[in-house]
Amino acid sequence: MKQYIFAGRARVVLAGVMLGAVIAGCAAQDTLLQAVDPDLINPSDLNSPDGAEALRVGALGRLRTITAGGESMWLLGGMMTDEWKSGDTFAERDETDKRSVQYTADKVTTNGNVTTAYRQIHIARSAANQAIVYLRKFKPLPASNVAEMFFVKGYAELIAAESFCNGQPFATFDGPDAIPGPPMTDAEAYAMSARSFDSVLAVATGTDAASIAVQNAAKLGKARALMNIGGPANYAAAKALVAGIPTAYRYNVTFVQISGDNQIWALANSARRWVVGDSVDPTGTVKNALPFVSANDPRVPTLKAPAVPALSFDVKTPFVTQGVFLSKGAPAGREDPAAIVAGLDARLLEAEVALSTGDNATWLATLNALRAAPPVIGGALTPAGLAPLVDPGNAAARLSLQFREKAFWTYARGERLGDMRRLIRQYGRTQDTVFPTGPFFKLDNYGTDVNFPVPQAEQNNANFVGLGCTDRNA
């Protein structure tokens, strides 16, 4: 084992040591400073099957970071909506909760949490592309591994489009290298995402379990992109894509304590910085917010005092934490898996498409079938005791019920912000009838944000500098 001696810690313990000997000894030790860092991968190391595999595993780690493994848009998007509220002292989280994210005269944000989440999305996209290049060259089989990298790329593009304003730039690629790209509309980003999911289906053509699993993930991802683009033809195509995907199917991101916790558990249950949202707070009723706590719905179980501390990290917000991810690890929840896409999403999509075509009977039957035989959600939660729904009798109420049901089924899985934006963009509702509105529980009032601005760091991109968001519309 090599040992290193640093001059700042040297002590003279023997007399009579000649200066020349010391200098000679130091020179002899110079090679020790050239030790290889095992955590660094040199470019030449990638030119092999092992190097390609390392890139693949790294891209999957990036996927984990942009979902339940980091303070990602799953969390920040949920805080801008009604899934979470801030029990923290950080202004970046409070302003996200308040729907009033810092927005400069240059039409960008300096919010550090948003900047990190944005950066991680685009790093994941670039990492997946790099893995695709090297896997195809050095380790093309199994093809499902290559296809999975296209899924990572497509999902990063999808969550970016759902979360950020019109006008965010996306890199283009020259082989493994990312090149700063021009701004795109959200619709263009959704279309790009759909093409990435198409590549999954073109590459993974086998009938083995791994191929079928990534095919299903891509079909669900593309269907979600098409629903975001909107229109009867895209709705119909989305429905066709997901037909036959089992309701029990889940494409999970997983956790073990040694490599990182489920951050939904870590930031909520452990750190007490994130609090489950509700339709009431210390100021009274929160207009438009769903009652994720007070409904006592088995799909979003919660814990409050005396089972948990009474106050959040800020020592003033009543602490209510989630029980959706609370099954695995020590303490329970830190190693809970989370479904990035699931067969449950297919059934909810089919219900919405039926509703959009006026087939109210199929819509209601689809939702009630889920309630009668609930799939596993969260980490390992199988909700029970869900009574059948009754048709509320008019189109507006049916639409509200559809999105309410989806919100409870998919709590904390990064879908709420995109859905609320669709209610505005596609169904004609206004932000003040969809997002939390009125007095904000930490003083002042809610703002009007319905998405996140591009971070200031993107001004380093010559294609973007001086532009900022094209608009902040849903």
Q: What is the pLDDT of residue 1?
A: 32
Number of domains present in the structure of the chain: 1
Pairing of strands 320-322, 302-304: antiparallel
Q: What is the pLDDT of residue 6?
A: 25
Domain that holds residue 54: 48-256+338-460
Q: What is the pLDDT of residue 142?
A: 98
User: Could you tell me which of 144, 113, 163, 138 has the C-alpha nearest to residue 54?
Assistant: 138
With respect to residue 316, please indicate whether it lies within any of the assigned structural domains. Answer: no
Q: What are 166's strand-pairing partners?
A: 471
Q: What is the pLDDT of residue 43?
A: 73
Q: What is the pLDDT of residue 384?
A: 96
With respect to residue 176, please indicate whether it lies within any of the assigned structural domains. Answer: yes
pTM of the predicted protein model? 0.91
Q: What is the pLDDT of residue 12?
A: 32
Q: What is the pLDDT of residue 408?
A: 98
φ and ψ at residue 72, rounded to 5 degrees: -95, -175
> DSSP states of 200-267 as a string?
HHHH----SHHHHHHHHHHHHHHHHHHHHH-SHHHHHHHHHHHTT--TT-EEEE--BGGGB--HHHII
- Summarised one tens digit per residue, pLDDT across range 400-429 is 999 999 999 999 999 999 999 999 999 999
With respect to residue 280, please indicate whether it lies within any of the assigned structural domains. Answer: no
Q: What are 85's strand-pairing partners?
A: 275
Here the tokens at position 202 are 């073109």
DSSP, res 60: H
Give the Cα-Cα-Cα angle 154, 157, 162 (nearest 5 degrees).
Answer: 125
Q: What are 210's strand-pairing partners?
A: none
Q: How many CA atoms lie within 13 A of 55 on its CB side?
A: 30
Here the tokens at position 279 are 């339709």
With respect to residue 410, please indicate whether it lies within any of the assigned structural domains. Answer: yes
User: What is the C-alpha separation between 416 and 407, in angstroms, rounded?
Assistant: 6
With respect to residue 272, please indicate whether it lies within any of the assigned structural domains. Answer: no
DSSP, res 382: -
Here the tokens at position 226 are 């098409």
In this prediction, the residues of the chain whose per-residue pLDDT falls under 50 are 1-24, 28
The answer to whether the CB of 449 falls within 8 A of the CB of 99 is yes
Residue 86, domain CATH: 1.25.40.390
Q: Which long-range contacts (CB under 8 A, 24 or more apart) does 393-402 make?
A: 398/355, 398/360, 398/363, 399/355, 399/423, 399/427, 401/367, 402/351, 402/352, 402/355, 402/363, 402/367
With respect to residue 317, please indicate whether it lies within any of the assigned structural domains. Answer: no
Here the tokens at position 215 are 């095919």
With respect to residue 304, please indicate whether it lies within any of the assigned structural domains. Answer: no
With respect to residue 470, please indicate whether it lies within any of the assigned structural domains. Answer: no
